């Protein structure tokens, strides 16, 4: 029987890769918590309706990519394809805004989309993100863009290109929609099937066409449809970014084709990512979403970044810190009668805060020491018959290949000294 394989489009996280993953998550938490964002978590599955309404039925994500199933009670549930709708639902339902406004929250976790798997695009992937919920202010858009930028920079990824645009408010977009329809209708025969449908359902998404970029190249720009108020809001965002020392590229073709998006939209691009997948992530202001989900109208802004893509770029740029070894010291019994003493010494060392593997298996000391090397340990503590009899242990420096005997009372200090000793050159 062949061994069972992982499902297509998924990744396993094994020990050698997990420290990079943890580094990324810890860096994200540290950076966004320095802005006052606090961790939240929401379910991995939600009522399908949350995403139909919250992401939009005319999007590729909802039309083609959701993992939807019926539970035993006949309810339609969906594995979350993105984090914002669920986090907003959680914050609103938990009445978090009654205490502080805006609520600043961050999240991290797996998302699910059944896209065609390819490099940097999976069925299960991870995102980290923040949401700032409860106020509309250009300063908050700037804060969110800056927090994401500081996080990416803290990962050592220089040369991030921040693309920004304004989608205006509902009226601006209505004007823009009409301008788009006037432009696209005469071209209808030349459009791909998807775009002909978009023409009817969601004209803004015509600009996202991945099959033929030519029609979009000459299409009207949303920036030309902005009212004076919306244009002034966007100017405030841009000057806020300048004041924060953040270079951003104006991209009037960056759109998010849903009604509840408003004003600021942005993406973080990195040159080392190819083509349509050059975005590490993005976000924007989504003032209409809470209402679409049935809550009181509540402005909000946020971003989501793809963990696999960030790690891909960090690996390419060699900014990932080396994995720490599995342990600092290995405690080895020489023969089975010393196993219990070795276990006790390992416990003492762990209580003193050291990372310690116990090797009390019935196998040769040579093998145990080779295994200790492979674990990356710097010290081995060896308990043989003599040591056990005399209340001693041998502390071996695995880097310098020296060793000495110490009384068990001085073991912690001796192991610490060995760990602190300079590595032989």
For binding to ligand AMP (CB under 6 A), which residues are involved? 82, 113, 115, 120-122, 125, 127, 279-282, 304, 306, 308-309
Residue 308 CB, nearest distance to ligand AMP (Å)?
5
Residue 113 CB, nearest distance to ligand AMP (Å)?
5
Residue 191 CB, nearest distance to ligand AMP (Å)?
23
E strand spans, 55-149? 67-70, 76-79, 103-112, 124-133
Residue 20 CB, nearest distance to ligand AMP (Å)?
16
Q: Are 293 and 92 in contact (CB under 8 A)?
A: yes
Q: Are 33 and 40 in contact (CB under 8 A)?
A: no
Residue 58 CB, nearest distance to ligand AMP (Å)?
15
Identity of the residue, 125 or 233, whose beta carbon is nearer to ligand AMP in the bound complex: 125
- Measure the CA–CA gap between 20 and 315, rounded to whole angstroms: 9
Q: Are 330 and 415 in contact (CB under 8 A)?
A: no
Cα–Cα distance list, 217 to 185, 188, 199, 221 (Å):
15, 15, 16, 10
- Measure the CA–CA gap between 184 and 214, rounded to whole angstroms: 12
**What are phi and psi for residue 205, nearest 5 degrees?**
-75, -10
Q: Are 78 and 85 in contact (CB under 8 A)?
A: no
Residue 205 CB, nearest distance to ligand AMP (Å)?
13
| Tokens representing residue 324 in the block | 């720490």
Identity of the residue, 88 or 393, whose beta carbon is nearer to ligand AMP in the bound complex: 88
Helix axes 193-201, 170-184, angle to 10 degrees: 140
Q: Are 356 and 345 in contact (CB under 8 A)?
A: no
Residue 92 CB, nearest distance to ligand AMP (Å)?
20
Cα–Cα distance list, 310 to 13, 40, 106, 153, 271 (Å):
15, 21, 17, 11, 12
Q: Are 185 and 247 in contact (CB under 8 A)?
A: no
């Amino acid at each position: 029987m062949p061994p069972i394989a992982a499902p297509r489009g998924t990744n396993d996280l094994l020990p050698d890769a997990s420290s990079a993953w943890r580094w990324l998550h810890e860096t994200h938490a540290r950076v966004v918590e320095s802005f006052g964002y606090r961790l939240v978590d929401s379910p991995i599955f939600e009522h399908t309706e949350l995403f139909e309404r919250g992401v939009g039925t005319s999007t590729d994500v909802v039309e083609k990519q959701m993992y939807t199933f019926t539970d035993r009670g006949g309810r339609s549930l969906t594995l979350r394809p993105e984090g914002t709708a669920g986090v907003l639902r959680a914050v609103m339902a938990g009445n978090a805004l009654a205490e502080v406004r805006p609520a600043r929250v961050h999240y991290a976790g797996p998302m699910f989309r059944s896209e065609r798997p390819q490099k940097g695009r999976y069925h299960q992937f991870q995102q980290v993100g923040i949401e700032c919920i409860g106020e509309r202010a250009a300063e908050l858009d700037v804060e969110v863009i800056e927090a994401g930028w500081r996080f990416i920079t803290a990962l050592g990824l220089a040369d991030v290109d921040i693309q920004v645009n304004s989608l205006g408010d509902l009226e601006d977009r209505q004007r823009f929609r009409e301008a788009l329809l006037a432009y696209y209708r005469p071209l209808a025969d030349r459009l791909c099937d998807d775009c002909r449908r978009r023409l009817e359902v969601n004209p803004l998404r015509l600009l996202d066409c991945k099959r033929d970029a030519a029609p979009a190249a000459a299409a009207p720009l949303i920036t030309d449809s902005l009212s004076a108020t919306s244009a002034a809001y966007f100017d405030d965002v841009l000057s806020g970014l300048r004041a924060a020392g953040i270079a951003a590229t104006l991209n009037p073709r960056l759109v998010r084709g849903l009604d509840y998006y408003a004003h600021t939209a942005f993406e973080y691009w990195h040159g080392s990512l190819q083509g349509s997948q050059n975005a590490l992530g993005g976000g924007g202001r989504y003032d209409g979403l809470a209402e679409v989900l049935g809550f009181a109208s509540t402005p909000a802004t946020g971003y989501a970044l793809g963990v696999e893509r960030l790690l891909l770029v960090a690996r390419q740029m060699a900014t990932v810190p080396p994995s720490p070894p599995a342990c600092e010291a290995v405690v080895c019994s020489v023969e089975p009668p010393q196993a219990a003493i070795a276990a006790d010494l390992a416990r003492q060392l762990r209580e003193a805060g050291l990372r310690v593997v116990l090797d009390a298996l019935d196998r040769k000391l040579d093998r145990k020491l080779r295994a200790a090397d492979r674990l990356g340990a710097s010290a081995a503590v060896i308990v043989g018959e003599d040591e056990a009899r005399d209340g001693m242990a041998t502390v071996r420096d695995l880097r310098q290949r020296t060793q000495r005997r110490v009384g068990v009372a001085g073991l912690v200090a001796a192991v610490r000294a060995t760990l602190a000793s300079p590595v032989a050159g």
